Structure 1
Amino acid sequence: MKAADLGLIQVLGSPTLSPDGQCAVVSVERADLAADRYLADLWRVPVDGGEPSRLTSGELDREPRWSPDGRWLAFTRSVPGSGPQIHLLPHDGGTPRVLTSHPLGVASPRWSPDSTTIAYVARVPEPGRYVAPIAQTASSEPPRRITGLRYREDGVGYVLDRPKQVFTVAVADGAVTQHTTEAADHDCPAWSPDGTRLAFVAARHADRDTVPARDVFVRDLGERRTTVVTRTDLRASHPAFSADGDQVYFLGTETGGELNETYFNPTSLWVTPLGGAEPAPATRLTDPATTDLVPQPLTVTGTGVLALVGRRGAVDLVQVAPDGAVADVVAGPTQVLGYDVREGLVVAAVASDTEAGELHAVTPDGSRRLTSFGAPLAAAGPLARMHEVSGTAADGYPVHGWVLRPEGDGPFPVVLAVHGGPFRAFGWRLLDQAQACVDVGYVVVMGNPRGSSGYGAEHGRAVRHAFGDVDVQDLTALVDLAVEDFAGDPDRVGVIGASYGGFMAAWLAARSDRFASAIVDRATVEWNDADIDDDVDYTHLYIGTDPEVQRLKSPLTYAEDVAIPVLVVVAEQDLRCPPAQGRRFFSALHRAGKRTELLSFPGASHMFHDSGLPRHRQARLDAIIEWFDETLKPGGNGRSDAG
C-alpha cells in the first residue's frame, strides 16, 4: 500500500437490518484524492449472500436506519455548503425526501417504535453566529463572553454558543419539535418501547467545566417533563430502555479522583430503575478490572444487552446477561465497527489487519462474509499481515503488540509506532501508515504499553504520574522483539507517534540512545505550559502538580540533548495538542543546531490523519516515508547533529 492508495480504502459505518431480516444497508465511505473530499454511498446487502447493490449516490450518505415497519429508510446526507440533514427513502427505492433543515446539520437519527417520528440531535447556534447571511464571516460576529473552561472542542471549534439539542420530526408532515433548551450538549437519544419517552445524556450540572460527569435524562413527551435518572457520579453515554420500559441501561465511566481520573477508568455497563422520586443508585453489570466497553450504542435483547468491548487490540461484540455474565457474539483477531440484530441474526461491520471493513452475517450456526468492499485495495498490491508478539519488559511486566514485516531477508530498518491517548489501543485493524512503511521496506512494530486500554484497569492506570517511565520499558521491549525475531536492524530504528505518541517520540529522541530518527506528530512537549482547550487536565492527571516534575518530564527541557534527526508535525487548528508546542520544540532544536524540520498543516484539527482533507492525509504519509528514507536508509544522514 502507498499513500496514493488512500482513495481505495472503503470505510464502513454501522449497518441497519431490515425488519424482515432479508437485507442490510450500510454506508461505505471513501476519500476522493483528486477532489480533496469524501464521498459516501448507501449499499443494500442481501443477507442470503446475494450481490450487494448501490442504493444511493449522494454526496455523503451516512447513518442509515430502517423504520420498524419496513416502509422507510432514514439516513443523513451532506451536500456542499450544508450540514447533514435527515432524508427519507421508500423501501423500494425512489427519490429521497428531505425532512430537516438545521443550519449546522443533524446527527443520530432514531426511529420511534411506531415508525411515525424520528428523534435526532442538532446544534443550535446563537442568533448571528455561523450562518450566512447574518454572519458573512467569523470576523463579523459579536465577541464571545466566556465564563467557563469548557468552551471549545477539537474538530468542532467553539461549542458554548451552539449546544446540541434533542429534536423530533414527524414523518407525515415534517413538523419539528425541540425537546431540550439548556445551554449544554445533549446526545444519544433513545426511545422507550411504547414511544412515549426519550432518554438522552447531558452535562447539566453546575460544575460541568471541571467535573466530566454526564447524566442520563428521560423526557416524557406527553407531559413535556424531563427527569434526571442518574446521580452525576458517572460519565454516561448511550442509554437504552429495558424491554418493559422500567429501567435504563447505559454506558458509564467513573469520574472519581481529585484529578478527574475518568480518562483512564474503564467504561462499564450500568442499569438504573425509573419511577422514583429521586435518582436511584445505578448498578454496575460488568467488571471494570477486566472489561472495558467501547462507547457505541447498546441493543437490548430478550436475554441481555449487546455491547462492544475492547480486548487486547480486538473489539468484540458481546452479550451481557442481567447477572453480568459476558458471552461472545462476534470475537476474534478483528474489530467490530458496528452492528444490528433481528431475532438472533446479527449483521456486523468487521475490520481486520488487512481489511478496512466487511459485512458479516452471524447466526448461532456460524458466520459468513457478505461483501468484498476491500477488493480494490487488495488488487493494488499485497497487504502485510500483523504478527502478534508477546514479551517481557525490563521490570518483568508482560508486553503485547504486533510486528509487520516486509518480504525478503533483511536486515530491515525498524519503525516503532506509538498510539495516542494514552488510554487508547492499537489492534486488529488496517493501519494505512503501517502498510505504507512496510511497502517501502520497514519493519513496523506497534504495541499497547502500560497506559493503554483493553488490558484491565490496572494496566491503564499504570502511567499515572509515570509518563516516560514504565511505558518506555514496554516500548523498548517490543523494539527488541522486532530486531530479534523479524530481521530488524538495531542501528536503524525510528520512532513515530501522534498526541501521546508524539510526546513519547520526543521523549525517546531526547532521553534514549536506541533510536536513529524521530517524527514528533501533534505532541505536548512542555507540560507546565500545556494550553489544552479540552476538558481533560492531562498535565495534572499524568504528570502531577509539581512544577519541577513537570519541567523534568518535558521533552523540551532536553532539546539540546537530542542527537538524531527530528521531523515535527503540527495541525494548525489542533485544540488538543496546540501547534505552539510543536513549533517550540522545532525552534529549540533548530537553535541548538540539530537536524530538524517543521511540517505544518493549515486548517487541520487534532484527528486530521483519520478525517482531515484527503490531500493532507496523503501528504502526511508521503512525508513520513520521505523522512525515514532520508534518515534510516543507506545514504541518509541518521545519527547526526548537522544540518
Structure 2
Amino acid sequence: MSSILRTSILTALATVSLSWGAGAATTADEVLFVSNRDGNAQIYLMKADGSGQRPLTHTPEENTEPAWSPDGTRIAFTSYRDGNADIYVMDADGTSQKRLTSDKFSDNAPTWTPDGRIIFRSIRDRWTNFYVMDTDGTNLKQLTGTKVDKGIPMLSPDGRWIAFVVHGETGSSEIHVMPAAGGEAKNLTGPLSKNRKMAPSWSPDSKRLMYTEAKDLALNIRIIDPDGGNPGTLTDNVYTNAFPAWSPDGKRIVFVSSREGTRTEMARGDIYVMNVDGSGTTNLTRNPDEDNYPAWSADGSTIYFVSLRNGTAQIYSVPAQGGEQLRLTKNKGNDVMIRPKAPQASKLRPDTARDTVIPNQSPVH
C-alpha cells in the first residue's frame, strides 16, 4: 500500500467515526449526508431508499458534520458561513438555522447529549478542548482544559462518558475516556507508543469500546472496557481492518477490510460484518473498487456505505444479512458522512449525565 493511500486512511480514521445511531430504539427512514455536488459541501437529507434527496443548507460556504438530536427533530452541524467554523442548529427540515457559537477560533464536531444539550470541540484556548452548551448557545461549560491535541468527542449512548483520541507530539495516539460532565480522564490504551490508536466506537449498552490500532502496515480492531479492563482483539491480520461500528442490538459489527485483496491493494476495502466476538466474518460487497465508511440503519436491517465504484464517492446500501447492493445517490460530486436517523433511547434522568464523575483517575497529560 502506498504511503499516500495509507496516510489518507489514517487521517480519515482520526477524524471520522461511524457509530452513529448506536443504541437506537426506533426505526426511522431518513438519512443525513454531506455532498459537494453543487460546489461546496452542503448537508442533504434523503429517504432510506435514496428518494427525496434535497439540501438542507444552501450557503456559499461549507456546512458539514450533521448530528441528529435525540428526538430526531433538530440537527446540529458545523458551518463556515461566517468565516470561521462555528456550531449551528436547525430544524430537521432545514428551517430555523441558528448560530450557537461565535468565537474567533474554530468550533466543530457537535454531538448531542441524551438530555438535549450539545457537546463540541474547540480550539478557542489554542488547544483542542471540549465544551457543552444548551441548544440556544447559553450555559456554556468547558469540560477539558489540558494542553494536548484531542480528537472528536464520542459520547457513550447512556450519556455518561466521552471517549476520544489524544495525539502525542511524536505522532502517537491513545484512547482516553472521561466523564461527560467534565473531570479527569483515563488513558485506556497507553502508554504512548508508535502504534496509533484511533476511531473509538461505543457499544449500545456503553459497556465496551472498539478502536482501531495501526501497527506496521496493518490496521486491526481492538476492544476494551471503558475502565481499561478486558482488552481483546477482534481482527488480527496484515491487512486493513477499519471503521468498525456496532449494530443497534450490539450483537454484530460492521467494518471495512482489505483481506481479500492483494498486498498491493491494502487501501481497497470491502464492507464486512462479524459477530461481536469476532466470529462469523462475512464480506457483503466484494467489489474491485473502494467501499468504505459503513453505518447501520436504526433497526439494524441495512448497512449504508460510501463507494468509489462509479468514480466519485456515492452512497449505497446492502442488507445486513447480505443481498442486493443498491446505489442511493447518483451525481458527479462526492457524498459522504452518512448519518441515519436513529435517536438514542436514553434511560437516564435528564440531569444524570451532568452529575457523573469517575473517581481516582489521572488527568490527561
Give the TM interval when normalised to the shorter protein.
0.7 to 0.9
Moved over 6 A (4+): 13-19
1:101 maps onto 2:102 in alignment: yes
Q: Which of these two proteins has the greater Rg computed from alpha carbons? A: 1
1:322 maps onto 2:276 in alignment: yes
Shift of the 14–273 alpha-carbon distance from structure 1 to 2, 3 Å rule, reads closer
> Which of 288, 302, 309 in structure 2 is aligned with 1:345?
302
Are the aligned partners of 2:65 and 2:110 in contact in 1 as well (CA < 8 Å)? yes
Q: 2:345 is matched with which residue?
A: none
Are the aligned partners of 2:106 and 2:124 in contact in 1 as well (CA < 8 Å)? no
**Distance in structure 1 (CA, Å) of the matches to 2:79 and 2:312:** 22
Task: Give the superposition deviation at 1:333.
Answer: 2.1
Task: Give the superposition deviation at 1:191.
Answer: 1.4
Please tell me the residue identity of whatever aligns with 2:330: S
**Distance in structure 1 (CA, Å) of the matches to 2:276 and 2:128:** 32
5+ residue gaps in structure 1? 1-12, 33-38, 126-161, 255-263, 378-643
Are the aligned partners of 2:220 and 2:237 in contact in 1 as well (CA < 8 Å)? yes
Q: C-alpha offsets along residues 313-342 of structure 1, whole Å, 9 cap, x if unaligned?
A: 522222243332332244412323434322
Q: 2:173 is matched with which residue?
A: 214
**Distance in structure 2 (CA, Å) of the matches to 1:102 and 1:321:** 44
**Distance in structure 2 (CA, Å) of the matches to 1:323 and 1:200:** 23
SS in 1 for 2:178: strand
Q: 2:53 is matched with which residue?
A: 52
Shift of the 361–21 alpha-carbon distance from structure 1 to 2, 3 Å rule, reads farther
SS in 2 for 1:271: strand
> Which of 42, 58, 72 in structure 2 is aligned with 1:70?
72
**Distance in structure 1 (CA, Å) of the matches to 2:235 and 2:244:** 16
**Distance in structure 1 (CA, Å) of the matches to 2:119 and 2:240:** 28
Shift of the 331–73 alpha-carbon distance from structure 1 to 2, 3 Å rule, reads farther
5+ residue gaps in structure 2? 1-15, 335-365
Are the aligned partners of 1:100 and 1:174 in contact in 2 as well (CA < 8 Å)? no
SS in 2 for 1:314: coil
Structure number with greater CO (CA < 8 Å, separation at least 6) is: 2
Q: 2:331 is matched with which residue?
A: 373
TM-score using structure 1 length: 0.43
> Which of 187, 198, 206 in structure 2 is aligned with 1:245?
206
Q: 1:333 is matched with which residue?
A: 288
> Which of 237, 243, 247 in structure 2 is aligned with 1:288?
237
Task: Give the superposition deviation at 1:164.
Answer: 1.5
RMSD over aligned CA atoms reads: 3.0
SS in 2 for 1:171: coil
1:95-134 equivalence runs, <5 A: 95-112=96-113, 114=114, 116-125=116-125
Task: Give the superposition deviation at 1:80.
Answer: 5.4
Are the aligned partners of 2:270 and 2:292 in contact in 1 as well (CA < 8 Å)? no
Are the aligned partners of 2:143 and 2:181 in contact in 1 as well (CA < 8 Å)? no
Give the number of aligned pairs. 300
SS in 1 for 2:96: coil
Please tell me the residue identity of whatever aligns with 1:235: R
**Distance in structure 1 (CA, Å) of the matches to 2:205 and 2:74:** 26
**Distance in structure 2 (CA, Å) of the matches to 1:238 and 1:355:** 26
1:304-323 equivalence runs, <5 A: 304-310=252-258, 311=261, 312=265, 313-323=267-277
**Distance in structure 2 (CA, Å) of the matches to 1:362 and 1:79:** 35
**Distance in structure 1 (CA, Å) of the matches to 2:50 and 2:163:** 36
Please tell me the residue identity of whatever aligns with 1:274: P
- The structure in which a higher percent of residues are helix is 1
Q: 1:177 is matched with which residue?
A: 141
Task: Give the superposition deviation at 1:221.
Answer: 3.1
Q: C-alpha offsets along residues 175-210 of structure 1, whole Å, 9 cap, x if unaligned?
A: 32222222110113211221011111114xxxx434
**Distance in structure 2 (CA, Å) of the matches to 1:87 and 1:176:** 14
Q: 1:360 is matched with which residue?
A: 316
Task: Give the superposition deviation at 1:297.
Answer: 6.6
Task: Give the superposition deviation at 1:96.
Answer: 0.9
> Which of 216, 223, 226 in structure 2 is aligned with 1:271?
223
- The share of aligned pairs that are identical, in percent, is 20
**Distance in structure 1 (CA, Å) of the matches to 2:115 and 2:288:** 37
